[in-house]
Amino acid sequence: MESFSKTAERREPFRRSALSSDYQARTAEPEDSYRPPYRRDVDRILHSKAYARYVDKTQVVYLVANDHISHRALHVQLVSSLSRGIAEVLGLNRSLVEAIALGHDVGHPPFGHEGEGYLSKISHEWQLGTFTHPWQSCRLLSTIEPLNLGLAVYDGILCHDGGMATTRWEPQWGKTWSDHQRELDAKLKDPHVNLMPMTLEGCLVKICDTVSYLSRDIEDAISLGIIDRQQLPDTTLGKHHHEILKTVAEDIIRHSLDKEYIALSDQVYDAVMALRRFNFDYIYFEPRLKRESSKIQRSYDLLCHFLFDDLLSKKEKSYTWTHFLHNKSTVYHEQTSPQRQVIDYVAGMTDGFFIRTIEKIFVPMPIGLTC
């Protein structure tokens, strides 16, 4: 096979790649004079407040004083880089890939998947269904901070998880906004439902997300002394971040070029699954990383219930109104219950802001009077 780099230089768009002419937004807007619509979506995500908060959103390791440990900002950039490089060779729409990759995790609450579980318990208590970050990511970029992105972007964001359920990701072509709403409802009801994107670009991000976080989490764990590189399972992927990504990228290209699906070979799929099992066994539930878990859970309960009671009793003088609701649209206020408003507020917090809010509300401070 001709080298991938030479293939990329002359590659024409694949006939099933997402085209600007097929772009669908809920509200039609005039075309830009210089940007195709998916490029415009990338820029809107990059300039959003939600994207800015990635800088202090935990990936796996939290409350550790090490500037080299991954946060969401780095994770989404790594997913974007990996998936765009593959998309270039496959002739796919790189702007759509980038938009999905950069926006897919904005719905994560403080302290990552752990915080997601704590917030989900409160959501169930308030009879709002499960809190799940793909659903919240779509909500954030469409309702809380409405960006009017394309359907294929929201679809890719909603469908990005569950990447290792198969070796072949075949798009569910031709989805409509009604289909998207049905899938949003399904995700809210069952966070484990594995939705397939409507585009090849979405399918590509789905697998690249999984591979990116598995390999990077290994590097972080090694840096912190949680594991040793020699502990990693012997697979065809190698034992270094760059080896893993290179091997997976080449395998995806080899098995997806000019196909109407994204695929991995059985051998590479099995190797990725071996790494995934290793990470769950030795990293994600490591006791040294969970020392503050009980405090975080209590903080979630304390903060959410205080904010809810405060909102009901003080309304426009409440803490949530002053710091979050005061600039929301009339449509948001009319269509969002007080419970959901509190969850939207807390879910959007960074790790640091969550802790500062707990301190500001509950920790006594010097009054500052002098004799």
β-pairing, 168-169 vs 262-263, is: antiparallel
Task: Say yes or no: 285 and 300 in one domain.
Answer: no
Task: Say yes or no: 325 and 271 in one domain.
Answer: no
Q: Name residue, tokens 């590659």.
A: 11
The last residue of a domain, from among 256, 289, 322: 289
The last residue of a domain, from among 289, 321, 337: 289
Stretch 72-101: mean pLDDT: 97
Distance CA 357, CA 52 (A): 18
The per-residue pLDDT for 170 is: 97
The per-residue pLDDT for 9 is: 47
Contact (Cβ atoms closer than 8 angstroms) between residue 238 and residue 218: no
Task: Say yes or no: 319 and 210 in one domain.
Answer: no
**Residue 140 lies inside a defined structural domain of this protein:** yes
Task: Say yes or no: 157 and 276 in one domain.
Answer: yes
Nearest one of 234, 205, 246, 239 to 219, comparing CA atoms: 239
The CATH number linked to 173 is 1.10.3210.10
Helical packing angle, 112-125 and 338-347, nearest 10°: 170
Task: Say yes or no: 223 and 254 in one domain.
Answer: yes
Task: Say yes or no: 92 and 170 in one domain.
Answer: yes
Task: Say yes or no: 141 and 208 in one domain.
Answer: yes
Stretch 162-166: mean pLDDT: 92
**Residue 308 lies inside a defined structural domain of this protein:** yes
Q: φ, ψ for residue 262 (rounded to 5)?
A: -110, 135
pLDDT band at 366 (very low <50, low <70, confident <90, very high): confident
The per-residue pLDDT for 3 is: 52
Give me the residues paired with residue 113 across strands.
none
Can you list the alpha helix ranges (DSSP code H) found in 190-326?
200-223, 241-256, 266-282, 293-314, 319-323
pLDDT band at 10 (very low <50, low <70, confident <90, very high): very low
pLDDT band at 11 (very low <50, low <70, confident <90, very high): low
Structural domain total, the chain: 2
Residue 136 has pLDDT above 70, yes or no: yes
The last residue of a domain, from among 241, 264, 289: 289
Mean per-residue pLDDT of the chain: 94
**Residue 371 lies inside a defined structural domain of this protein:** no
Task: Say yes or no: 245 and 353 in one domain.
Answer: no
**Residue 22 lies inside a defined structural domain of this protein:** no
Residue 150 has pLDDT above 70, yes or no: yes
Q: What is the pLDDT of residues 263-307, one digit of tens each?
A: 999 999 999 999 999 999 999 999 999 999 999 999 999 999 999
**Residue 367 lies inside a defined structural domain of this protein:** no
Task: Say yes or no: 282 and 237 in one domain.
Answer: yes
Contacts of 245 (CB under 8 A, 6+ apart): 82, 211, 212, 215
Residue 187 has pLDDT above 50, yes or no: yes
Stretch 323-333: mean pLDDT: 96
* pTM, 2 dp: 0.94
**Residue 29 lies inside a defined structural domain of this protein:** no
**Structural domain boundaries, residue 328:** 293-362
Can you list the alpha helix ranges (DSSP code H) found in 91-171?
94-103, 112-125, 133-139, 151-158
Residue 7 has pLDDT above 70, yes or no: no
**Residue 11 lies inside a defined structural domain of this protein:** yes
**Residue 370 lies inside a defined structural domain of this protein:** no
Task: Say yes or no: 261 and 346 in one domain.
Answer: no
Task: Say yes or no: 169 and 233 in one domain.
Answer: yes
Task: Say yes or no: 316 and 337 in one domain.
Answer: yes
The per-residue pLDDT for 307 is: 98
Q: What is the pLDDT of residues 233-272, one digit of tens each?
A: 999 999 999 999 999 999 999 999 999 999 999 999 999 9
